[in-house]
Amino acid sequence: MQFDKPATTNPIDQLKVVGQPIHRIDGELKTTGRAMYAYEWHDANLPYVYGYPVGAAIAKGRITAMDVSAAKRAPGVLAVVTTLDVGRREKGKFNTVNLFGGDEIQHYHQAIAVVVAETFEQARAAAGLVKVEYAEERGAFDLREAMAGAAKPDDSQEPDTAVGNFEAAFKAAAVTLEQSYETPDQSHAMMEPHASLAAWNGEELTVWTSSQMIDWWRSDLATTLGVDKEKIHLMSPFIGGGFGGKLFLRSDAVLAAFGAKAASRPVKVALPRPFIMNNTTHRPATIQRIRIGAGRDGRITAIAHESWSGDQPGGQLETAASQTRLLYAGADRMTAMRLATLHLPEGNAMRAPGEAPGLMALEIAMDEMAEKLGMDPIEFRIVNDTQVDPEKPERPFSHRDLVGCLKLGADRFGWSGRERPGARREGNWMIGMGVAAAFRNNLVLPSGARVRLDSQGVVTVETDMTDIGTGSYTIIAQTAAEMMGIGMNKVAVHLGDSRFPVSAGSGGQFGANSSTSGVYAACVKLREAVAAKLGFNSADVVFENGEVRSGNRSVPLAEAAGADGLVGEDKIEWGDLTKTHQQSTFGAHFVEVGVDIATGESRIRRMLAVCAAGRILNPITARSQVIGAMTMGAGGALSEELAVDTRRGFFVNHDLAGYEVAVHADIPHQDVIFMDETDPMSSPMKAKGVGELGLCGVSAAIANAIYNASGVRVRHYPITLDKLIGGLPQLADMSDAYRSRA
């Protein structure tokens, strides 16, 4: 199905099932421990053994020798496969650096061997016996140092835009702001480590893995192994979180496949937790410079956003300036992004790539500018709203209700009670409120599905779409139930299997909208097949209550299916509505914090997000996506930072104790409001993405609340107490505070 005209009324609009707060259909499996993740596959016909990886101990250079004799002699060891054994491999399309193979070391903890043994304990012990000699080379690991040599990437990465004459307009502006901001390297830190079980049967390979994108993995695994893609069967029905860290083929799958070949046994490999942060990808750090010029009326006349990030040679920008092309009005404007070469592990997509770190900076700048103008920060944003792409005014937004989000949120949050910086106290707590806009583009990808109707009237959906916690199982079942006029108990959903039609997969907040649209398309085909079989005119057919009706004839679906059943298969493909109309999602984040006047400790007290993201397919799972993102943003604001050893070139705090994600005690009750809207330009579902929107802007809202509480402006994330304490009120005030508490 080609989606090239705005959606009109269709069966989804009934909203009998879609849009309803339906609990996850995989909830019982997950809460009872019965959902099986990649490392957990077991049956008597799968006599697997264990692989344990070895990682490079240097950041850059070559391996000159490897001695695996002790490892091979160790108890239980069945095989050792080294990067030298397999030699240089053709790299998968989606990876920047090699996952395995050859003597070149491109980053610390790059996989250089896998040791296969009868037990996990034996494999781990033997992995420690592999001896490696390196010829180390100098690398670049410090973004600030490498910034000067940063280059403009080619146009495919869209590094620059400019409209009008920014410099002149900025110079002429009555009020101006010029500031720099820094965001650190961040890690996905999903709870399930990357894991794969590989089993060869002759030339055929079966892999159970933890992947967001089945078809990308399958293609890249085929390339890396040098086998025919059709010979690989990949499955990933449950994924313990990804956040972008499982978008692209990872070393566990490659090592398991090579290990299994060498040992002639199925092999499973999980990346040890301390391995993950340097072996896999991360969100690259940024240094950003923002300049805003406005008239005294608060209208932005000039806006510029520049960003510098680093990556391996051949890598990509962290596109932190991209949202500034679309978010606010302003006639004269420019953005520029530059890429430095760094030899840290590969930088790549993490939840809301670009917008997440971009808004961490831009939305502090907006707060600072509002203060300079003497305006309320919400009013300042409203004044500068735009209903068209500000760089291409002939292109309207398909639907944009940022203003609605800001106003409703202000009302619900009690924004009018916000005081001037440093004014509100409760004992030793300085209390403040902050706001930030949320913005994330709505991406769509082609997505296929197959829908079977059987003689029991059960509809089974098959697509290689994944559910990484997003709720795909549930919203896909809702879509099929709505389209076929049946209850949720008559729908089965099978996901994450390369034997099924290729879907959008999970990423870039395109998954929910794209994959349900694919299921919609397949259901249209199935409806046509049912109508044709019954000789009904498909134009006036109604699917309702498990029956199909036309005029005064009505037949149970089970009967229509017949003994052999019926099948519908299709995929959704996208016309140019995304080109003629800018499709984006919007929101507003509100946060209240307390900052301890003595220690500078920041505690989040309240959080509210208001989201305008098209039709919400399931308010329960959508809300969970948003609160989860708000939680990730809290970590990003207050504690998350991969510490770079700029001498040795690696992330030092490479485990869950050193890399501090938010915990229970950090997160208060969270509120989410969805604007009641649809976007017919977006898809037949009239939905858009929401999973990444929830992260966009949260950290800045927290930063702005901390400023409002304490009067200390921090522009360098994370906002740890050492960055606040020098600016806090003097001791005399403090003793007052503590006296009043006593």
Partner 1 sequence: MNHTTKVSFTVNGASRDLDLDNRTTLLDALREHLHLTGTKKGCDHGQCGACTVMVDGRRVNSCLTLAVMHEGDRIATIEGLGEPGNLHPMQAAFVKHDGFQCGYCTPGQICSSVAVLEEIRANIPSHVTGDLTTQTQITEAEIRERMSGNLCRCGAYSNIVDAIVEVAGTKA
Question: At its nearest, how many Å lie between partner 1 and the CB of residue 274?
Answer: 8
Strand partners, 111: 55
The backbone torsions φ and ψ at residue 263, rounded to the nearest 5 degrees and listed phi first, read -90, -10
- Give how far the C-alpha of residue 634 lies from the chain's centroid of Cα atoms, to the nearest Å: 15
Q: Which is nearer to ligand FES, 665 or 732 (CB)?
A: 665
Question: By CB under 8 A, what part of segment 169-188 binds partner 1?
Answer: 188
Residue matched to tokens 């998350």: 640
Q: Which is nearer to partner 1, 418 or 623 (CB)?
A: 623
Question: Per-residue DSSP letters for 267-293?
Answer: EEEE--HHHHHHHS-BBPPEEEEEEEE
Considering the rule CB under 6 A, would residue 274 count as an interface residue with ligand FES?
A: no
Q: Which is nearer to ligand FES, 272 or 421 (CB)?
A: 272
Q: Which listed range, 25-33, 78-86, 87-95, 548-556, lies at the site for partner 1 (CB under 8 A)?
A: 25-33
Strand partners, 687: 614, 615
Print the binding letters for residues 440-469 with ligand FES: x by CB under 6 A, - otherwise: -----------------------------x
Out of 172, 403, 492, 656, the only residue in the binding site for partner 1 (CB under 8 A) is 656
Residue type, 359: L
Q: What is the DSSP letter of 36?
A: P
Considering the rule CB under 8 A, would residue 426 count as an interface residue with partner 1?
A: no
What is the total residue count of the chain?
742
Task: Say which entry of partner 1, ligand FES, none residue 35 contacts (CB below 5 to 8 A, set by partner kind).
Answer: partner 1
Q: Which is nearer to partner 1, 32 or 416 (CB)?
A: 32
Q: Which of 306, 371, 462, 692 is the catalytic position?
A: 692
Closest CA to 438 of 689, 715, 175, 621: 689
Out of 64, 119, 537, 599, the only residue in the binding site for partner 1 (CB under 8 A) is 119
Print the binding letters for residues 465-494 with ligand FES: x by CB under 6 A, - otherwise: ----x-------------------------
Residue type, 501: P
Task: Say which entry of ligand FES, partner 1, none residue 655 contacts (CB below 5 to 8 A, set by partner kind).
Answer: partner 1
- Paired tokens of 227: 């086998």
In this structure, the number of other CB atoms found within 10 A of the CB of residue 64 comes to 11
Out of 11, 19, 24, 700, the only residue in the binding site for partner 1 (CB under 8 A) is 24
Distance CA 394, CA 332 (A): 16
Q: What is the DSSP letter of 506?
A: S
Question: By CB under 6 A, what part of segment 203-242 binds ligand FES?
Answer: 241
Out of 243, 415, 500, 651, the only residue in the binding site for partner 1 (CB under 8 A) is 243
Question: At its nearest, how many Å lie between partner 1 and the CB of residue 243?
Answer: 7
The C-alpha torsion from 677 through 678 and 679 to 683, rounded to 10°, is 150
Closest CA to 640 of 309, 356, 251: 356
Hey, CA dihedral for 721, 722, 727, 730, is it positive or negative?
Answer: positive
Q: Are 145 and 157 in contact (CB under 8 A)?
A: no
Q: Which is nearer to ligand FES, 65 or 191 (CB)?
A: 191
Residue matched to tokens 């990465």: 157
Closest CA to 307 of 355, 259, 256: 355
641 is catalytic: no
Question: At its nearest, how many Å lie between partner 1 and the CB of residue 577?
Answer: 30
Task: Say which entry of ligand FES, partner 1, none residue 661 contacts (CB below 5 to 8 A, set by partner kind).
Answer: partner 1
Considering the rule CB under 6 A, would residue 191 count as an interface residue with ligand FES?
A: yes
Q: Judge if the upstream peptide bond of residue 718 is cis by omega within 30 degrees of 0.
A: yes
Sites of contact with ligand FES (CB under 6 A): 191, 241, 469
Q: Catalytic residues, which ones?
A: 692
Which positions lie near partner 1, rule CB under 8 A?
A: 23-24, 26-37, 39-40, 42, 75, 119-122, 125, 188-193, 238-243, 270, 272-273, 468-471, 620-621, 623-625, 627-632, 655-657, 661-665, 667-670
